[in-house]
């Protein structure tokens, strides 16, 4: 008699407690992030002891060759309040123009001569994106409120899609990867930075912190304890690297890799569209 498979080997997408279908899951997650948006930044920095900044920096640096090309079109998916977006911006060519001069023309989709393409920052939480937009204001970054599974982006138009700590909140991981594949140009790359559940002693300590300490501290800071109980549950449910790499390859990507950060508690998935 075989044992039932653990949830992370069967998971097809995020499922908050009490939710069974994809539409309800997406709505639940959207409401949750709208609710915690006012304290999201301080909670993140506090709960990670500031390590999250290093993770964004390291992930962005992995794509500096693509980022340094002015013509590259960059999409930061599930951008939240924009910290990953700003980490990517540090590797973009310096722009002598104003943000309005660098924006893609709504009529032609063209980029003014000599200007690097602005970064597109997408999130479906209005409150999170509003806070990100305040940080973006002086920079060539275009905030877009949209669902990651139904992007208002032309096929074969993006050179790099990143997502930092947001992909595991999608209601359907396979559909999310298919949508990334669709919008990427041939040769385009994905970079998915997300939490991971390590094994062994590190995993045991990680579980203790994530399940006992984090919900209490996050709840005290935000006043939303349920949201910070969802966080460890979402990490536990998220596919481990071997299965996630399999999903990425099944979506059509080549050269899929995972690089662990900070004892494997987080990591970066990279892959290329043929």
For 130-149, write each residue's pLDDT tens digit: 999 999 999 999 999 999 99
- 97 pLDDT more than 60: no
Asked if the model's pLDDT at residue 86 lies above 50, the reply is yes
Average pLDDT over residues 230-248: 93
Model confidence at 183: pLDDT above 70: yes
pLDDT at 105: 37
What integer is the mean pLDDT of 92-105? 53
| Strand pairing category for 74-77 and 119-123 | parallel
What integer pLDDT is reported at residue 62 of this predicted model?
98
Give the pair of three-digit tokens for residue 179.
């949508």
The answer to whether 248 and 173 are in contact (CB under 8 A) is no
Question: What domains, with CATH codes, occur in the chain?
Answer: 50-92+113-196+238-272 (3.40.50.150)
Torsion of CA 195, 237, 226, 77, to 10 degrees: 50
245 pLDDT tier (thresholds 50, 70, 90):
very high
Mean pLDDT of all residues in 253-268: 96
Is the confidence at residue 96, as pLDDT, over 60?
Answer: no
pLDDT at 57 over 70: yes
As beta bridge partners, residue 160 has 74, 189
- Residue 102: band (very low, low, confident or very high) from pLDDT cuts 50, 70, 90: very low
Share of the chain above pLDDT 70, in %: 91
pLDDT at residue 65 above 50?
A: yes
pLDDT of residue 104: 41
Q: Report the DSSP beta bridge partners of residue 141.
A: 119
When pLDDT is averaged across residues 55-76 and rounded to a whole number, the result is 97
pLDDT band at 192 (very low <50, low <70, confident <90, very high): very high
Q: In the chain, where does DSSP find H-type helix?
A: 7-10, 22-36, 40-47, 51-61, 64-67, 83-89, 99-102, 126-136, 173-183, 200-208, 214-222, 225-237, 241-250
Residue 90 sits at φ, ψ, to 5 deg, of -60, -20
Q: Which residue has the higher pLDDT, 34 or 10?
A: 34
Measure the CA–CA gap between 251 and 249, rounded to whole angstroms.
5
Q: How far is residue 69 from each of residues 65, 148, 201, measured CA to CA in Å?
A: 7, 25, 42
pLDDT of 114 > 70? The answer is: no
What mean pLDDT is predicted for residues 159-181? Answer: 97
Please, are residues 269 and 245 in contact by the beta-carbon 8 Å criterion? yes
Please give the structure tokens belonging to residue 188.
Answer: 């385009």
Give 233's pLDDT tier (boundaries 50, 70, 90): confident
Confidence of residue 209 (pLDDT cuts 50, 70, 90): confident
Other Cβ atoms within 10 Å of 145 Cβ, number: 15
**Looking at residues 215-224, what average pLDDT do you find?**
83
φ, ψ dihedrals at 112, nearest 5°: -55, 140
The confidence score (pLDDT) of residue 41 equals 92
* Residue 151 dihedral angles phi and psi, to the nearest 5°: -75, 135
Q: How far apart (Å, rounded) are the C-alpha atoms in residues 80 and 221?
A: 18
């Amino acid at each position: 008699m075989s044992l039932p498979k653990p949830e992370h080997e069967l998971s097809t997408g995020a499922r908050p407690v009490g939710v069974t279908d994809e539409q309800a899951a997406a709505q639940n997650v959207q409401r949750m992030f709208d609710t915690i948006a006012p304290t999201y930044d301080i909670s993140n920095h506090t709960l990670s002891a500031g390590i999250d900044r290093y993770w964004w920096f390291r992930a962005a640096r992995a794509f500096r060759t693509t980022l340094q090309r002015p013509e590259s079109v960059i999409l930061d998916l599930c951008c939240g309040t924009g910290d990953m977006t700003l980490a990517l911006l540090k590797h973009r060519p310096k722009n002598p123009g104003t943000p309005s001069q660098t924006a893609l023309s709504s009529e032609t989709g063209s980029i003014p001569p000599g200007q690097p393409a602005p970064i597109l920052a997408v999130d479906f939480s209005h409150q999170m994106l509003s806070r990100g937009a305040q940080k973006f204001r002086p920079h060539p970054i275009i905030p877009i409120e949209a669902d990651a599974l139904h992007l208002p982006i032309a096929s074969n138009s993006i050179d790099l899609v990143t997502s930092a700590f947001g992909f595991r909140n999608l209601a359907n991981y396979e559909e999310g990867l298919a949508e990334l594949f669709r919008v990427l140009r041939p040769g385009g790359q994905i970079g998915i930075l997300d939490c991971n559940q390590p094994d062994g002693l590190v995993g045991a300590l990680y579980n203790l912190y994530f399940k006992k300490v984090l919900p209490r501290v996050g709840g005290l800071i935000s006043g939303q304890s349920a949201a910070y109980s969802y966080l460890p549950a979402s990490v536990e449910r998220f596919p481990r690297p071997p299965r996630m790499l399999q999903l990425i390859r099944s979506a059509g990507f080549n050269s899929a890799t995972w690089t662990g950060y900070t004892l494997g508690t987080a990591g970066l998935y990279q892959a290329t569209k043929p």
